[in-house]
Structure 1
Amino acid sequence: MSARRWHLTVAVAVLFASSVLALGLAQRSPGAVSSAGVVDVTTNLAYENGAAAGTGMVLSSSGLVLTNNHVIRGATSIRVDVPGTGRNYVASVLGYSVTADVALLRLRGASGLHAVRLGNSSRLNVGARVIALGNAGGAGGAPATSSGKVTGLNRSIDVSDGVGLTARLTGLIRVDATLEPGDSGGPLFDAAGRVIGMDTAASVGFNFVSTHEGYAIPINRAVSLAKQIQRGRTSATVHVGSTPFIGVSVGASGGGVVGAYVLRVASGSPADRAGIVVGETITTVDGRRIVSYTALTLALLRHHAGETVTLGWVDESGNTGKTRVKTVAGPPQ
């Protein structure tokens, strides 16, 4: 989890503030398993005038890093620190999946890094002992560890950022663990010290609450998505490359109109230049019906920065129209 909460929409046409919540486990202590390949991820959130912290896992010596999407959402810059080495790197986002909460980063100028040792999450059983490492509390330095056991497999939870973006995470590993800010994106190890999951959420979703229940994404699935991103294969649920930005903050629609209600338009943004104004409700993107903020986000993520989208809208007087908006590069969503 980060040291902050999600607030307002910021990228992909939405001025969105990301939350970096995380899975942490009880009895935090340093180093029960090897921390090689576990890194600290710090993001700057210029649109929120804030920062956030999470955890990542090195997948390659040349600097591919796996983390949660919600760790880097809304980031205008990302720094990755390798604990105990004094080395830090600027990171770029290669791609991400909002619905799976997975993101892949590349560290600029990295070489010779230690990668985490991957296991096989399909062999995991209920009752198996697990150990988690993470940047607990966003404090940085050597990752803290904690132990627990698997209490469920193939679990599903509904998560929300608190301002409209919702997602259903499926196929998760459930553990009897407490939550600690900063652990999101960190490894969940089996008893042999192999990574079998990526810590991601609490029983209540992306909100920090002290509870003995947490969830991790099976590492087989997370790595499969990372490979898809690395190969540049965009899909309905995976975005690769630059994130389109139009510069509006949206909320739930009202007055019986279904869509995304425009709360704010950033001055000089693509939406501002195209004539989108506060009080309009975005009802379609390129002809696709928009029924929620989440639907708007996913529709926009079908595009890349520089492409043009057509927004259908209804104003507060009931007038309808369509406006073409040329996107620019923005923070990851």
Structure 2
Amino acid sequence: MDEQDPRPTEHTPEVPAEATPDVNPEVNPARFGAPLPPPAWSSATPPVPPRRRGPRLLAVGTALAAVAGAAGAGFLLGHLDDHGHPAAGGPPSSYAGQVPNGQRFGEAPFGGTPFTGPGGRGTPFDSASRGTPATDSQLTGLVRIASTLKYQGGRAAGTGMILTSTGEVVTNHHVVEGSTKLQVTVMSTGQTYTATVVGTDAKDDVAVLQLENASGLQTVTPDTDGVSVGDAVTAVGDAGGSTSTFSAAAGDVLATGQNITTSSELGRGGEKLRGLIKISSDVISGDSGGATYDDGGEVVGMTTAASTGSNDVVGFAIPIAKVTRIAGELENGTENARYDYGSPAFLGLGLGGSSTRVGVVYPRTPAARVGITAGDTITRVGATTVRTATQLRDAITTYSPGDRVRVSWTDRNGTSHIASVTLMSGPVA
């Protein structure tokens, strides 16, 4: 019987720096954490069950993660599609080269994974019982952010605030995380712009976008006096993912200087958000990145999270002074270990766990072009040996899109391979 050639197989195909990936429907999602199919109800008129209360914390926006704090534990609400329903599809458990700090919020990055609800599968929340339609003055300076999530097979929507007349927009990091394309609609005019991500601060959950060819835009008015317990506030945003209007939820300031910790529905640890304003407004999915106004119409905070108890919803907002400070630094390109700029390098594969075993390979990406397939194990990136998912992600993040690097892997038959690949631009990390 012939013996297997132990020498590495050399591949030298040229990989384009840009590619349009698809979801591979043949990958077993249970085994590899690959993209899931759309929920069975994801049609033009899916059922909308009554809103369900429970002892859980939510971060309101286009994200799936959880907040654990004094009130308990729960989850950040998931990405809504353009009809107000959870975005179809779910990503692999981690993206090699997409999430530099590792997968912080469980089995999926923000977005893409359907909500869990009464039926245990992708049930959307009923936004009809929440708040009242926003007034014209409340819509001034607010935008709807629609994200395309190619690698998750879905779309998402959230809220943002215009800071400059030339189109600088601030929102939550979790609103844009995982996105590959952003369309932003100014709610007061209906004008839609393509947007790019200037920079992000994942630790503080802040992101800055720039609208292309924008001018003469009306901005929000930040408060300069701060808030006190008992002050009246109103949270305004894309609650429920409406495509035509925003809603407003009145409440009061319950506390300031609040700290919460995000975690996934699966119970994994997450990030700490500090110094938040706690409000009684009924904030829900889609509100993330929106405005929390005082009774004078000035923005006192950026709505970010909410906790639900058996009867009441409690919201959290990042103080506007902190938001504008971070936004200004991101816009100016300030060097800070917390800040990320531009698009990350992307190899084009997802991992099924903590090892470097490949769970899914996206078509027309560098990994796919050189023949890496599900079940293979990545062993080396450039001069760096990798044995864990974290090591692989860290190795990829030392490169930029367009960089050429040698990648080594072992296939499921034990044969070693080496290939030179040109890394492409990945989703927002």
Q: TM-score, normalised by structure 2?
A: 0.63
The unaligned stretches of length 5 or more in structure 2 are: 1-60, 62-78, 81-85, 100-107, 116-124
Q: Which amino acid aligns with 2:185?
A: D
The one of 263, 277, 280 equivalent to 2:359 is: 263
Distance across 1 between alignment mates of 2:371 and 2:268: 24
8 Å contact 1:261–1:282 — kept in the other structure? yes
Counterpart secondary structure, 2:170: strand
Counterpart secondary structure, 1:224: helix
Counterpart secondary structure, 2:151: coil
Cα deviation 1:155-185 (Å, max 9, x = unaligned): 2222338697943323322222333222111
Distance across 2 between alignment mates of 1:191 and 1:296: 50
Q: Which amino acid aligns with 2:240?
A: G
8 Å contact 2:378–2:386 — kept in the other structure? no
The one of 285, 306, 319 equivalent to 2:402 is: 306
Counterpart secondary structure, 1:229: helix
Q: Which amino acid aligns with 2:251?
A: G
Residue 19 (str. 1) matches residue 111 (str. 2): yes
Is 188-197 or 168-177 further displaced after alignment?
168-177
Bigger share in strand: 1
Name the structure 2 match of 1:55: 159
Residue 145 (str. 1) matches residue 237 (str. 2): no
The one of 236, 240, 243 equivalent to 2:344 is: 243
- TM-superposed CA distance for 1:321, in Å, is 10
Change (3 A) 1:50 1:129: same
Residue 134 (str. 1) matches residue 134 (str. 2): no
8 Å contact 1:200–1:215 — kept in the other structure? yes
Cα deviation 1:184-224 (Å, max 9, x = unaligned): 110111222221211112338xxxx9951222222222222
Q: Which amino acid aligns with 1:271?
A: A
Distance across 1 between alignment mates of 2:395 and 2:139: 38
- TM-superposed CA distance for 1:79, in Å, is 1.2
Change (3 A) 1:261 1:221: farther
The one of 249, 270, 278 equivalent to 2:374 is: 278
Is 158-167 or 76-85 further displaced after alignment?
158-167
The unaligned stretches of length 5 or more in structure 1 are: 254-258
Residue 196 (str. 1) matches residue 318 (str. 2): no
Counterpart secondary structure, 1:203: strand
Question: Which contiguous aligned blocks of 4+ residues in structure 1 show a shift greater than 6 angstroms?
Answer: 161-165, 281-286, 288-293, 309-324
Distance across 2 between alignment mates of 1:60 and 1:201: 25
8 Å contact 1:131–1:145 — kept in the other structure? yes
Counterpart secondary structure, 2:313: coil
Change (3 A) 1:12 1:108: farther
8 Å contact 1:38–1:143 — kept in the other structure? no
8 Å contact 2:98–2:428 — kept in the other structure? no
Distance across 2 between alignment mates of 1:311 and 1:56: 39
Change (3 A) 1:120 1:194: same
- Alignment: residue pair count: 321
Name the structure 1 match of 2:194: 90
The one of 207, 232, 245 equivalent to 1:103 is: 207
Change (3 A) 1:316 1:230: same
Name the structure 1 match of 2:34: none
Change (3 A) 1:273 1:61: same
Distance across 2 between alignment mates of 1:166 and 1:281: 27
Name the structure 2 match of 1:217: 318
Distance across 2 between alignment mates of 1:288 and 1:210: 52
Distance across 1 between alignment mates of 2:252 and 2:380: 45
Distance across 1 between alignment mates of 2:321 and 2:140: 19
Name the structure 1 match of 2:182: 78
Q: Which amino acid aligns with 2:201?
A: S
RMSD value over aligned CA atoms? 3.9
8 Å contact 1:44–1:75 — kept in the other structure? yes
Change (3 A) 1:109 1:326: same
Q: Which has the larger radius of gyration?
A: 2
Distance across 2 between alignment mates of 1:283 and 1:150: 52
Q: Which amino acid aligns with 2:351?
A: V
Cα deviation 1:266-307 (Å, max 9, x = unaligned): 2342234466553456699886988766x8667755653224
- TM-superposed CA distance for 1:118, in Å, is 0.8
Distance across 1 between alignment mates of 2:90 and 2:202: 17
8 Å contact 1:188–1:199 — kept in the other structure? yes
Q: TM-score, normalised by structure 1?
A: 0.78
Counterpart secondary structure, 2:175: helix
